[in-house]
């Protein structure tokens, strides 16, 4: 273990094996059980899935010059180009679709689940490499059951592959700073490759997340040793291997990240305006997601729930390693003192003891740099914060390791108190959900009752184990309860409140009501979920005038409408209602299918 490690491991070989086995079960349940069932793809997922399906089925679109390039090179959606996002998430889903023979909900979501698993495994390996083995498994369990991470791990979005490659980039950079000679060159080259793949996931987002932690890695670890410059120069391949590695990393990054944009730039004249719209305009909040600067400060406690306290406790431990939770829950000064501790003093200690604290300086830079960069942009959404989640899990892992490795009776009492409070809060949240469903008469009341029963049972078991001094087992009981409660919510609740269920049912009705070769259009909205579940392109007619122009051709056609966008029923003669899919929660958002037939002669 590196000298100065502030989290010594207390796991015996036997308990370590049990911990690994428990984590494996946790990951399998959290990421893969009923991944493609119960909850339909949402709008963002359907955009990715339709684009990937066109790759699997080789459906190109015609370019302005008359050519029809492969959809693997020029992605398309619903008959037009889809260039607003880089292609790697589409390639991943389409590749799995090729392997399975078709692209369905499971194969569309599997890349995200695998990327989530890879992110967790890299975090474990990185923490162990940093001498934080006692915190590694706890951090992995936290990341696997955190609300923001777990929900997006089961969604077909580009953010999870981005998070995987961001984590891989920083892990490789860390290994590069800890190595020398040829190994340093190799790790830095892998760092550049991972950053390039991250750029192929979300484009310039990597410039928001990576610069600060990479700068910390470049400066912090080697700047404190009194003779660092002389020793590094004297080592075989010291500064030379660093220079070669950095040049190779940049070259690999460019070789991976730039070919596709350059290809598109040559083939599509307005590519630059499309990318500007998706980066600059989106950051300026022009896509309807403008939020205040403090948005993520309010949302992060929810996104890292139910382990928010442990994240804050871990951050406090890094600033003040000797801090312990107070013996009483009402000691306000005891709870807030870490936050008031002088940050310059903590940074000075970390500077003087780099081997013990540099890992958490990295995680702090990762977290702070991401929050600042994301907050600076006007456009904000919850899933934009996903790449910083591994850093907060590392802090929570440190807190849990400290609580479960108490050395004195007083520390044990404090740890039992923290565990009891957390268990009671989780049980109270479950019971609050029951009260809400009774008050609002939700149809899934009994599912919420079952979910609450699981949380209450896990809380009681956790408190009993903690009272017997089995703090690690008590904390593990909470993890199990959170996982089971999430799966109950996914199977029995989420599908009922998700608009995707309604739109999937509507798309199935369209398939039954329309012949495969009949013209089918959508009115005023290019709904990706309906297009995905209908299994065919549905060209959009944005205005009533376009519907009238199609009707003027004199050939029968079908028109799918989302009522919230209005209906041309009264403005276009000859439209006959074929199908209406009512929305039991919002009647104004019911879906309708019309058929237009020429008037009888």
Neighbouring residues of 323: CB distance < 8 A, sequence distance ≥ 6: 316, 317, 337, 338, 341
C-alpha angle 204-277-210 in degrees, rounded to nearest 5: 15
Is there a single domain that holds both residue 382 and residue 446?
no
Whether 6 is covered by a domain: the verdict is no
Looking at the domain assignment, is residue 547 inside a domain? yes
Q: Is 558 helix (H, G, I), strand (E, B) or coil?
A: strand
Number of Cβ atoms within 10 Å of the Cβ of 272: 12
The model scores a pTM over 0.85: yes
pLDDT tens per residue, range 373-423: 888 888 788 889 999 999 999 999 998 998 888 666 777 888 888 889 989
Both 433 and 381 in a single domain?
no
Same domain assignment for residues 113 and 201:
yes
Question: Residue 205 carries which DSSP code?
Answer: G
Last residue of a domain, which of 403, 429, 458? 403
Q: How far apart are the first and last CA of the chain?
A: 89
- Tell me: the pLDDT tens digits for 178-217? 888 888 899 999 999 999 999 999 888 888 889 999 988 8
Residue ranges in 441-559 assigned as alpha helix (H): 445-467, 471-488, 495-497, 499-513, 528-534, 544-552
Closest-CA residue to 167 (of 358, 393, 399) = 393
CA distances from 281 to 122, 143, 494 (A): 34, 32, 32
Q: Are residues 24 and 153 in the same domain?
A: yes
% of the chain surpassing 90 pLDDT: 45
292, part of any domain: yes
Contact 323, 317 (CB under 8 A): yes
pLDDT band at 6 (very low <50, low <70, confident <90, very high): very low
Specify whether 198 is located in the same domain as 107. yes
For residue 435 the two structure tokens come to 């009260």
Task: Indicate if 461 and 524 belong to the same structural domain.
Answer: no
386 compared with 568, residue with greater pLDDT:
386
Residues 286 and 431 reside in one and the same domain: no
Cβ neighbours around 408 below 10 Å, total: 9
Neighbour order of strands in the sheet with 575-581: 540-541, 520-523, 557-562, 591-596, 575-581
Report H helices in 409-467.
409-440, 445-467
pLDDT of residue 229: 40
Instruction: Report which of residues 564 and 307 the model is more confident about.
Output: 307
- Mean pLDDT throughout 211-225? 71
DSSP assignment of 248-266 equals HHHHHHHHHHSHHHHHHHH
In angstroms, the CA 161 to CA 159 distance is: 6
Q: Does residue 460 sit in the same domain as residue 587?
A: no
385, 521: one domain: no
Q: Which two tokens stand for residue 326?
A: 């107070």
CA 98 to chain centroid, in Å, comes to 24
Residue 258 falls inside a structural domain: yes
Q: Which residue has the tokens 């090179």?
A: 73
pLDDT at 228 over 80: no
The long-range contacts involving 232-239, CB below 8 angstroms and separated by at least 24 positions, are: 235/180, 235/181, 236/180, 236/181, 237/180, 237/181, 237/182, 237/184, 238/180
Q: Is residue 202 a contact partner of residue 158, using CB atoms and an 8 Å limit?
A: yes
CB neighbourhood size of 266 (10 A): 9
Q: What span, in angstroms and rounded, lies between the C-alpha atoms of 96 and 110?
A: 8
| pLDDT recorded at residue 453 | 95
CB 391 within 8 A of CB 366: yes
β-strand 557-562 against 520-523: which pairing, if any?
parallel
If you average pLDDT over residues 80-97, what whole number do you get?
93
- Tell me: do 392 and 424 sit in the same domain: no
Residues 6+ positions from 5 with CB-CB distance below 8 Å: 131, 132, 355, 356
Assess whether 436 and 582 both reside in one domain: no
User: For residue 273, is it within any domain?
Assistant: yes
Residue 550 lies in a domain: yes
Last residue of a domain, one of 343, 373, 403: 403
Q: Which domain holds residue 442?
A: 418-494
Out of 225-234, 239-248, 443-452, the most confident range is 443-452
Listed residue (540, 535, 537, 583) closest to 105, CA to CA: 535
Q: Which stretch of DSSP H or E encloses residue 288?
A: none
Q: Which pairing describes strands 591-596 and 575-581: parallel, antiparallel, or unpaired? A: antiparallel
Give domain status of residue 409, yes or no: no
Question: Of the residues 459, 494, 529, which one is the last residue of a structural domain?
Answer: 494
Confidence of residue 325 (pLDDT cuts 50, 70, 90): low
Residue 272 has which token pair? 């630059």
Looking only at the bridges linking them, the beta strands covering 80-81 and 591-596 are: unpaired
The whole-number pLDDT of residue 230 equals 36
pLDDT digits (tens, 9 = 90+) for 338-347: 445 445 555 5
Closest to 53 (Cα-Cα) out of 80, 34, 76: 76
Element (H, E) at 525: none
Domain count for the chain = 3
Residue 4 domain-assigned?
A: no
Confidence of residue 430 (pLDDT cuts 50, 70, 90): very high
Q: Is 384 exposed, middle or buried (0-12, 13-18, 19+ CB in 10 A)?
A: buried
Q: Which helix (H) or strand (E) holds 561?
A: strand 557-562
| Predicted confidence (pLDDT) at residue 24 exceeds the cutoff of 90 | no
Model confidence at 585, pLDDT cuts 50, 70, 90, reads low
> Is the domain of 346 the same as that of 477?
no
Q: Give 501-555 pLDDT, tens digit per residue.
A: 888 999 999 999 999 889 999 998 888 999 999 999 999 998 888 998 999 888 9
């Amino acid at each position: 273990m590196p000298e100065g490690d502030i989290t010594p491991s207390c796991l015996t070989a036997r308990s370590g094996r049990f911990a690994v086995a428990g984590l494996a079960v946790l990951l399998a349940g959290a990421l893969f059980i009923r991944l493609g069932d119960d909850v339909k793809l949402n709008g963002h997922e359907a955009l990715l899935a339709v684009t990937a399906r066109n790759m699997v089925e080789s459906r190109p679109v015609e370019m302005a010059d008359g050519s029809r390039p492969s959809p693997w090179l020029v992605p398309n959606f619903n008959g037009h180009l889809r260039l607003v996002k880089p292609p790697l998430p589409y390639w991943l889903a389409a590749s799995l679709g090729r392997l399975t023979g078709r692209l369905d909900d499971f194969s569309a979501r599997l890349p995200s689940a695998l990327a989530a698993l890879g992110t967790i495994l890299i975090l474990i390996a990185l923490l162990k490499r940093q001498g934080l083995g006692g915190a590694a498994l706890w951090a992995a369990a936290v990341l696997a059951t955190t609300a923001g991470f777990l929900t997006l791990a089961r969604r077909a979005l580009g953010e999870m592959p981005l998070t995987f490659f961001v984590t891989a980039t920083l892990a490789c950079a860390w290994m590069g700073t800890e190595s020398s000679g040829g190994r340093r060159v190799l790790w830095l080259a892998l760092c550049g490759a991972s950053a390039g793949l991250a750029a192929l996931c979300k484009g310039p987002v990597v410039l928001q997340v990576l610069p600060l932690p990479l700068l910390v890695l470049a400066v912090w670890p080697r700047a404190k040793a009194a003779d660092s410059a002389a020793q590094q120069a004297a080592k075989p391949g010291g500064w030379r291997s660093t220079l070669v590695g950095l040049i190779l990393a940049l070259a690999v990054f460019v070789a991976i990240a730039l070919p596709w944009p350059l290809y598109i730039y040559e083939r599509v004249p307005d590519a630059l305006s499309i990318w500007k719209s998706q980066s600059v305009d989106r950051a300026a909040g022009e896509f309807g997601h403008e939020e205040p600067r403090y948005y993520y400060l309010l949302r992060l406690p929810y996104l890292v729930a139910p382990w928010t306290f442990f994240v804050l406790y871990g951050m406090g431990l890094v600033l003040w390693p000797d801090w312990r939770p107070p013996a009483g829950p009402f000691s306000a000064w005891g709870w807030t003192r870490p936050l008031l501790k002088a940050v310059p003093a903590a940074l000075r200690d970390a500077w003087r003891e780099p081997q013990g604290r540099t890992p958490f300086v990295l995680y702090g830079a990762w977290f702070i740099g991401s929050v600042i960069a994301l907050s600076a942009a006007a456009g904000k959404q919850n899933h934009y914060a996903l790449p910083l989640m591994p850093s907060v899990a590392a802090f929570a892992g440190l807190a849990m390791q400290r609580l479960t490795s108490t050395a004195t009776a007083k520390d044990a009492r404090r740890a039992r108190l923290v565990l009891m409070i957390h268990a009671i809060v989780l049980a109270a949240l479950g019971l609050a959900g029951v009260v809400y469903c009774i008050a609002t008469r939700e149809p899934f009341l009994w599912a919420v009752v079952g979910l609450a029963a699981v949380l209450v049972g896990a809380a009681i078991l956790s408190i009993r184990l903690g009272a017997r001094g089995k703090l690690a087992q008590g904390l593990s009981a909470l993890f199990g309860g959170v996982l089971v409660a999430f799966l109950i919510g996914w199977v029995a609740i989420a599908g009922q409140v998700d608009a995707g269920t309604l739109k999937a049912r509507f798309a199935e009705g369209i398939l039954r009501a329309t012949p495969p070769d009949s013209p089918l259009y959508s009115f005023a909205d290019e709904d990706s979920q309906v297009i995905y579940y209908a299994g065919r392109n549905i060209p959009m007619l944005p205005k009533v005038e376009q519907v009238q122009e199609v009707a003027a051709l004199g050939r029968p056609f079908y028109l799918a409408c989302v009522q919230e966008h209005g209906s041309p029923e009264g403005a276009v003669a000859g439209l006959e209602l074929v199908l209406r899919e009512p929305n039991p929660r919002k009647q104004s958002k019911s879906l309708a299918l019309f058929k237009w037939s020429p008037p009888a002669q």
